[in-house]
Every structure is written in C-alpha cells, then in structure tokens.
Structure 1
Amino acid sequence: MSDDELSDDMQELNELIAEYRSKEEEDEKEEQQQVSPEEDNTKTSEQNDVDVKNTGVPMDKVIFGDKTKLIKNLEKAVTKVSKHKATTEKEPDNEGSDGGEKKNDTNEGDKRKAVKRKPVWTDADDEEIQLGEVKKETKRTGPLDHLKMDKSYKEHLTSRFTRIVNQPKWASLDEKEKQDSGDEDDDLLRTVGFLNKPAESVLTPGHLNMKRMKDLNRATYGEGVITSIQFHPTSTAALVTGDRGIATIYAIDGTQNDKLHNIHFPNFPIRCARLLPCGTKAIFGSVTRHAYLYDLMSAKETCFRWSQDFGNLCNFQISPCGRYLVAAGICGEIHIYEAKTFELIRTLKQNDQVASLCFTGDSQRLIVSGKSSNINVFSMRQQRLEHKFIDDGCIVGNAMDLSPNQRLLATGSREGVVNVYDFDKVMLSSSPQPVKTFLNLTTGISCVRFNHSSELLGYCSSYCKDAVKIAHFPSVTVFANFPGNMPKLEHVRTLEFSPHSAYFALGSNKKCPLYRIKHFQNY
C-alpha cells in the first residue's frame, strides 16, 4: 500500500468518525426531549433496575464493545500499520542480507548432515599408476586402442569390477541428500511412510540375457567329477566338491574366482555336500559309513559314524530352518537326524527306494520321490505319511525340487521327462495332471532346480553332452538361446543358482562353468 492510498484511507476514517459522533449527539438530544420531568421524578430505584434488565443491548456493542473504545483501537491500528510500512521501505537491503544469511545457515546445516565419509587409508601409488604402464608388461597380444592408456589403473579396475559384479552395499558411501526444501512430495513420502521405489522389472520369455564368465573352479580344477555346488547364503563365495574327496571354497567375481580354502578328506569320495542355512558349517556325505561336519569359521572337522543298518549319506537334505537332516537309507528308509549333532530322531518308511528329497519352505513337510512313479508327502510335525500321489508318465523318478514360492513342484524322470505341478492341487488329488511337461531332453534327468524368484527352472542330464535347459515361468517356455553357440559343456551332472540368481553354475566331469544372468542385479 502506497503513502497516497494510506492518507486517503485516513481521511475517510476521520470523516466516518465525525459523522458517527454527530449522529450519536443527535440521538441523545432526541431521547432527552421524549422523556418528561414528571416521569423522571415518579420512577423509583426498583423500577430503574427492572428497566435496565428489560432494555435490549445493541448488537454492535456486544460485538465491538463501547463506541469510544472502538474508535480509539482503530486509530491505534492505523498508526501501527503506517509506521511498520515506513520502516520496511527504509531498510530493504538489511532484510535481504539477513534473509540471505539465514538461507546460507540452513544450507550449511544441510551440508553438515550430508558430509561423506573418508577412507581410513589411502595409497598414493594407486593414483599415480596409469593403465598404459601396466598393460605394457602383460603378455596380451593384439591392439590396445580400445583402452585409454592415460587412465588411472585404479579407475580401470574399479569400473571393470562394477561392470561384472555390482558394488556391494557395505562399500557404498552415504549418498548426498537433496537440498530441495520446497519439494512437498518428498516431505509427504518421508512423513507418512509410503515407499517411493520403482516397480520391479519382469523377466521376459524367449531370450535370456546372460554371459559366460570364467569357470568357477579355474584356480585348481582339482575336485574331479563335480558332485555338488553350494553358493554361500550371504558371502560371494561357493563350495565345490568332487569325487576325489576335495572340497574347495572359491570367491566369485567372474574374472579370477580365486581359491579361498581347500579341504581334503582321504578315502572319502564326496557324493553330496550341503551348507547349513547359517552359512558357518557344511556337511559332507559319501558311500562310506561316516560323514563329516566342517566348521568354516574355525576350520575344524568332526567325523560321525553309524552302524551298517543306517546306510550312508550319499543323498540327504537339510531343512530350511536348519534343524533337521534327512537322509535316504536302504530299502525305502528315511532317517531324520539332528543337523548339528547327527542324533537320530525318527526313521520313516516307504515302499520304494528313495530317489530325491526336498522340504517345504516352512520345514513342516517332507516330499520324497521314490525309484518309481510314487511321490510321498510326510508331515514333520506328526512324523507320518500325509499324502501320496503318482507322477504322471513317470516310470523311474530321479530328481525333484519345490519352488521357493511353494506353488510349483518339478519332477524329473529317467525317461527325460520333466513335469511341473501346481503344489496346491497336488495335495488334493492322488493322480494330479501337470501344468506343463518338458520333453526337450531324451535321456535321464540328473538335476532340477528353481531360482529364488521361481521364474527360472534349470534341468540337466548327465548321459549326453550339452544336455541342459532353462525354462521360464509363468509362460512355461524354454529359452532358445541357452546353451546356444556357447562352448561345449560336457556332461552336466548338477546345477545351482546363486541366492538372488545373479549367477548360474553347472557341474560337469571336471569344470564348473559360471554364467552371469544380467536381469538379476544382486548376488
């Protein structure tokens, strides 16, 4: 509001005040003329009290109070507004500087919160070494035009590592927070608890984007015929065992796959090996009458022996809860042990010899496939047979696996047939029909395995070379580009996905081919 407008408003207000006072004086004169002196003398004090009670109070006096007080308050308010306006116009620069200082203070406070962590130790030589100095000393042949020789060798190694393996969460520094204080959407999401994250991408069928890396056991190739591959549940490492009694732990990076530890069991050809869910212990079984429990933290082994009646530990599984160890015995016996002490809990019985075992995700049920078309479901709580059904088209069963989402059950037979069932419907019928039957392989199925998201099913046969396929769900189709024109895979006996399906490993006569599935980002 300008000074001219303010002066005009003051003149109008003064005119209104003058008119209001003149009108008030006229009203008082009229009231005095109407009242006669005789009536004033006859009124008593009691009548005056009654008149005061019965007289109506004007509404404007109830709301605004006395007229004189209202006029004085209006005059005070107008003078305060005019004084404040004058002071603000005289000192505009001072306020601007104060506001800027306040903004700078807030920005400095935000920057203090977003201070990045510094490395504990740095080596100056890492920054000075260039890529050209290192590449000249190697035995690599061919042009190096695609490499920037003036680039830091440290940056080259870092970029190559992040390209092959994503940066682990523990190595990522604190990200700088955004300084947009006026972003109402972020404030809303930060207070009410909604998750602002992109939708997860869906794996598409038809073509699987994957790359073959260096062999998992390239550091030694000393295990012999690969019998088992176990990825560590938390660390980027894998346990590889063979029939020579050697178990090796390798670090997984896709390029070097260095050997971390080697374990040798004399006169003990390893047939089956399993890591406990905690990731600190491993159990090794063989055709002998004893087994080994190995502590990965203390590097100590414990040998457990049992009588001839309990058979061996060639085929066993560990429950997801880590409590039970279930092993296939002789003549259809199923032995339930305490996983950490090998104490026998109970022995179950079925008519056929045991071919494969698997648990449900809650460890409440045990699914057993026999050397026939029968599949039995046992209750671990009641320790008795709960359900029994026939595998469609199967004569001799070989392999079996239950998907992590507990919805699909895959079975593989000696005839090369892979059936996939809806597990909920299986528990309601003694002769269920499979959702899908895969006939891509013509020889006996050695292994079937689901990935962590239940989108991929890998199955293989050890009776011929390159006999391995990967199926996609829910489209129930096979990827045409795998194994494709990749190098020969020899006789694949076992296969395994990493905990989050970023890696896919195969076990053959000597080698462990390793693949990187690019759709999945985490190990």
Structure 2
Amino acid sequence: MQRAAAPAPCPGSVEKKKKIKKKKKTKKMTKVVNRLQPRADEAAAAEEAAAQQAAEEASRRARHLQALGRASGAERELEELVFGDSLSVGEDELLQRLAGPQWLKATEGKSLRDDSSDSEVENEAKGEILSKKPAWVDEDDEAEENVDMTHKYRKDFMKSDAEKVLTKKKLKRRLEEQFQRAMGGVPAWADLENRKKHKRIASDSDSHEDEDDDLLCRTGNFISNSESLPKGILKMSTCLPANQERFADGRLVTVQFHPSAQVVMTAGHDRSVSLFQTKELISTMKVNGRCTATAFTPDSSKIYSYSKEGEVFIWDVRSRKCLHKFEDEGSLEGKCIAVSKNNQYVACGSASGVVNLYTTDVCLKENHPKPVKAIMNLVTSATCVTFNPTTEILAVASREADEAVKLVHIPSYTVFSNFPVFRRKQIYLAQSMDFSPRSGFFSVANNKGKALLFRLKHYSDF
C-alpha cells in the first residue's frame, strides 16, 4: 500500500521565522553594546583626565621656571648655596646635575680644596711655633747619662766584666732584648704594623672587648684608686682562654700570673710550661708528716707547710727553723694552703671540703687557733685556695667535681652569688687558680687543657 506525500511548507511561514530570528539577534547585540558602552565612556574620561593633568603639570613647571627667573638676589644666593649655581639652566638639566655623579665630584672637590686650605693654615701656624728656639738649654740634658751595671738588680744584664757601665740607651736595648727572649719574640701587641692592620680589620662592635684587652696590651705598674669591693654580685665578663694560642693536650695543673710582667704561666701533663726558670737547690727542711701544700708569706720571710695529718708548720726562711706549729681545726687530711697578700689571713683547705680562714697573728701564737670563718660551700675536697692581691676575694675550688669554684668576699665572708653561673658547663674540673697582679683578671686552669680567663670589672688595672 502506497503512503501519501508530505505537504509542502507554506512560503509565508518560512519568511516569518527568519524575521523573528533576525529580531532576536538584533536585541542581543543591542544588549551587548549597552553593556560595553559605560566602560568605553570610563576609558575616555580617564584619558581626558590624564591629558588635563599633564597640561596642568606643564603649566605648573612653566610658572615655576618663571618664578625662579624673577627671584630676588638674596633668594638666588640661598638657592645657589643649596642647589649649586645651576639655576640658569632648564629644570630637567638641573635635576640631572643634582642627581648625577659629576655634580657630586665637583662638590667633593670643592670641599677638599677648602679642607686643604685650612690644613695649610694650620701647618703654617705649627711651623711658626716649631721654628721658635728654646729659651735656654740645659747642658746636663744633652749629656749622655751612664748607668752603673754592678748594682745587684742590674748584674744579670752584664754580658762581660767590661760592661760595668752602660749608657741609658744601651741598657734600654738590653732590656728590650731580654723581654723579647722571655716572650719568645716580639709580642703581637708590640708590633706597630700588626696593630695598625688589626685596627683596620676590627669592627666597631668589638669596642667593649678591646676595652678589656687594652689592659693586656700595656706593661708596667698601674696605680688607681678603687673603692672597696661590695659583696653580693661580682661584675665580671668571660674572655678568651689565656692559653688560646696553644691548649694543653691534657689537664692543666698550674696557672699563674707573673708578679710584674703581663705574662700568664700554664703547666700541665703534656710536658710543657709556657714560661719557667730553674734554680739550684738551696736547702731542705724536714717536716714531721707528709707535706701536701706550701705557701710563702708576701715578704718571703716565712713558709707555711701543710701536712696530710692536718698540721701547719711555720718556717723561718733564713734560719730554716720551725717557728711555730698549729692544728687546722677539724681537718682529717690537709689539701691546700694560701697566705693573703697583706699577710693578714691564712686559708687551709681539707679533704672534707671545709676551708678554714685564720688570722696570721693567732696562727703564730696558738696551737689550736679558732678560724674567723669556716667556708663550707664545697661538697668535695678543697684542692685549691688563693687570695686576690687586695685581699678582698678568696677563691676556693675542688678538682673532684665540675664547676666547683667559689669566690668568697672578704671581710663579709659571703660567697658571690653570680659565680659560677652559666647555662652550660665551662669550668669543668678546676686544677689551679690565680689572680692577675692588680686583680683585673682571674684565671682557672681546668682538666680540658684550657686556662679560662675572666675580667673582674671592679678593678681597672691588670
């Protein structure tokens, strides 16, 4: 059976659909144009504002240049003083000259010329002063003074019997030679070239350390008035170890400051001593007991010897006789002894950790003296005691425990609370201690081969 054919579309309906589509498209384009139109207007307004601002800037510059041209003489002088004599050129060139290196170089050159002229004036003035002749001349000053070398303090500087008399210049050279031999050469602080080089390299941030180290860069005796040391807190700072240039390979047993020169002696189990001098045997004194420690009095006229049994013998150096003997109170085994520099106190440290402090006049009279203070701040054997030169500090230590070092204030007999106080171990086992000749520094030799150095800020000198 055959199907019927589809009816043909009406020409009017097709045309109608095309018109509807075209109208929809037109509406969409209109909407897009309307949406973009404000943005275009904003861009045009921005361009117009930028052009107007540029015109105003150009007008302002023109007015500024015109005003500069009409400036009074005083104003121009002031502007030339500040900006230089470049006001006659255009503004752009003025700005370039102000910012450019040529203008800077010209200014610097002018300053240098001014400084040079000032220096010339100063040099001329100095020349006039130096050119003046002295009012009179002392003939004794011009004469070369001779020094008697046979004096007991100068005999060691004679190289032969022919040098019984030396000029002051020769004696000075001889002293310099001996000092250099003792120091192993010219010290770094005495080498002017090295010092100048070091000053150029060193930074300003090290000024406080340089201040402390300056005491180590001078020789001679220093006299300064210092108030009595207060108790409680001891102002101090940690320095580099005294043997920083060469640590010992084992534990140190001795650290000691030279009494007159700025030298620190260290000795240890590595068979080395930084500075030493041997003397021949003079005599031997027999002690009734096993001697564990000895100490000279400040005038070297007496010797205190401390026995293992806790007895202290006082000897006369000239006669080699025992002047007196006394027992250290409560001592089971003697370990260490020290006499104060003013010969006022004697400190005896025992195996119990107690350090008894006596007055010397009582020790010379009584056989069982009572200590003025029993220091009980150590929990292990007291193995080292020493006084500072002003007899204001007594240092006590034990080599049997880490950080076992105490500084005792005299005459209050109290321990300084801020030493040792560190966040980590630093002292370890103290083997020996000493103060510098004027108490400016305190050194502790430890079992690590270091001579730790501390700056005591209450004292101004080495």
Distance 1:436 1:508 in 2: 27
Determine whether 1:246 maps to 2:293: no
Q: How many residues end up aligned between the 2 structures?
A: 276
Determine whether 1:400 maps to 2:426: no
Distance 2:227 2:237 in 1: 19
1:491 CA drift (Å): 1.1
Change (3 A) 1:436 1:235: same
1:174-195, CA deviations, whole angstroms, 9 ceiling, x for partnerless residues?
A: xxxxxxxxxxxxxxxxxxxxxx
What amino acid sits opposite 2:311 in the alignment?
Answer: N
Higher strand content, 1 or 2? 1
**Aligned match of 1:367:** 304
Matched ranges for 1:375-454 at <5 A: 375-454=312-391
What amino acid sits opposite 1:418 in the alignment?
Answer: V
- Larger radius of gyration, structure 1 or 2? 2
Distance 1:216 1:361 in 2: 25
Change (3 A) 1:512 1:122: closer
- SS of the aligned residue for 1:224 comes to coil
TM, length-normalised to structure 1: 0.48
- SS of the aligned residue for 1:424 comes to helix
Matched ranges for 1:75-154 at <5 A: none
**Runs of at least 4 residues of structure 1 off by over 6 A?**
154-159
Structure 1: stretches of 5+ with no match in the other structure: 1-107, 114-120, 135-152, 172-196, 250-281, 284-292, 294-339
What amino acid sits opposite 1:459 in the alignment?
Answer: V
What amino acid sits opposite 2:440 in the alignment?
Answer: A
Change (3 A) 1:432 1:236: same
1:229–1:495: 8 Å Cα contact kept in structure 2? yes
- SS of the aligned residue for 1:216 comes to coil
Change (3 A) 1:169 1:373: closer
1:212 CA drift (Å): 1.1
Distance 2:288 2:219 in 1: 51
1:361 CA drift (Å): 1.9
- SS of the aligned residue for 1:229 comes to strand
1:220 CA drift (Å): 2.8
Distance 1:382 1:519 in 2: 41
Change (3 A) 1:122 1:154: farther
2:267–2:273: 8 Å Cα contact kept in structure 1? yes
Change (3 A) 1:222 1:425: closer
**Aligned match of 2:253:** 227
Change (3 A) 1:462 1:160: closer
1:154 CA drift (Å): 8.1
Q: 1:506 aligns with which of 444, 448, 453?
A: 444
Distance 1:475 1:484 in 2: 21
Change (3 A) 1:170 1:360: closer
What amino acid sits opposite 1:444 in the alignment?
Answer: S
- SS of the aligned residue for 2:289 comes to coil
**Aligned match of 1:204:** 230
1:110-157, CA deviations, whole angstroms, 9 ceiling, x for partnerless residues?
A: x999xxxxxxx998x969x997xx6xxxxxxxxxxxxxxxxxx58777
Q: 1:165 aligns with which of 188, 210, 214?
A: 214
Determine whether 1:515 maps to 2:421: no
Q: Which moved more, 1:208-217 or 1:397-406?
A: 208-217
Determine whether 1:470 maps to 2:426: no
- SS of the aligned residue for 2:362 comes to helix
1:480 CA drift (Å): 0.8
1:42-74, CA deviations, whole angstroms, 9 ceiling, x for partnerless residues?
A: xxxxxxxxxxxxxxxxxxxxxxxxxxxxxxxxx
Change (3 A) 1:398 1:126: closer
**Aligned match of 2:92:** none
Distance 2:245 2:348 in 1: 34
- SS of the aligned residue for 1:388 comes to strand
Determine whether 1:495 maps to 2:433: yes
- SS of the aligned residue for 2:451 comes to coil
Distance 2:291 2:224 in 1: 46
**Aligned match of 2:239:** 213
Cα RMSD of the aligned pairs, angstroms, is 3.5
1:272-323, CA deviations, whole angstroms, 9 ceiling, x for partnerless residues?
A: xxxxxxxxxx24xxxxxxxxx3xxxxxxxxxxxxxxxxxxxxxxxxxxxxxx
